[in-house]
Amino acid sequence: MIREVLPEILDELDPSDPRAVRSRRDLRLANKFMQGESWILRQVGELVAKNPAINRVIELGAGEGFLTQLIKTEYPHLDVVAVDLVAAPEGFDPQVRWDEADVLAYDGYEEGSIVVANLFIHHLQDEQIRELAEKMQDVAAILFAEPYRKPLSLMMGRCIFPLVNDVTRHDMMVSVRAGFIRGDLPALLGEGFHWQESLGLIGGIRLRGERCESHSVEGESVS
Ligand SMILES: C[S@@+](CC[C@H](N)C(=O)[O-])C[C@H]1O[C@@H](n2cnc3c(N)ncnc32)[C@H](O)[C@@H]1O
């Protein structure tokens, strides 16, 4: 399958539209199946234990900010930042900083930061991912959990069609086609990090990058 980034309906609906509200709820369900958030949470713990210079986590395309809240609860000493085009949800945890910004315009990619993204990077065209990589050159680590671009992921997505609305059905299929296979992200993000890729059990691919002097890609089996 060739990578193809097409518009997702949820990005075009008003956030208060009932179809958008329902689709965001469906996304919570998809997240439970795919377990990318819990994988990111575990990796943050490992990285922080290994590198005491890490003091900050930045989530790109944070959506409703669930992951940033989990990270702040688990690691209260870290400065946690959510970046998204949309404003923070009402009543959002004031201990997590919310930056309403385009990730390509955001300028807080500093040393000592871990940049994380769950089901977001596939929204970007290849050229935008390269641009993002240039901005992230100084960060300590990168953790991305994204759709795995394979026909099997499309089939798995169809299995939950009866549980989700029309917006989610459309966006799930578009997301898989815009997703990644092994080697895509390291090639787009370039050198300067030690990359490890792994597969989730249900339609997900995960990338962990730690800053280093020499570039390498390591494959892993299902985690
Ligand atoms: C599929 S949602 C994922 C939300 C969240 N990460 C989750 O797993 O529930 C993608 C999010 O990316 C945001 N987004 C899309 N393009 C963006 C950009 N260029 N900069 C910042 N946020 C963006 C959207 O507003 C949306 O909240």
Output the six-digit token pair for 201: 């059990």
Give the model's pLDDT for residue 95: 96
Distance, CA 61 to ligand 1 centroid (Å)? 3
3-class DSSP state for residue 160? coil
CB atoms within 10 A of CB 46: 11
Distance CA 102, CA 75 (A): 26
112-132 pLDDT per residue, tens: 999 999 999 999 999 999 999
The verdict on pTM exceeding 0.85 is yes
Pocket of ligand 1 (CB under 6 A): 11, 27, 31, 61-63, 83-86, 102-103, 118-120, 123
Distance, CA 213 to ligand 1 centroid (Å)? 31
33-45 pLDDT per residue, tens: 899 999 999 999 9
Report the residue among 39, 85, 96 best suited for mutation to probe ligand 1: largest number of ligand atoms under 8 A from its CB. 85
Where are the domains positioned within the chain? 34-148+180-219
Long-range contacts of 15-23 (CB under 8 A, 24+ apart): 15/86, 19/165, 19/166, 19/167, 20/167, 22/165, 22/167, 22/168, 23/164, 23/165, 23/167, 23/168, 23/171
CATH of domain 34-148+180-219: 3.40.50.150
Give the model's pLDDT for residue 103: 98
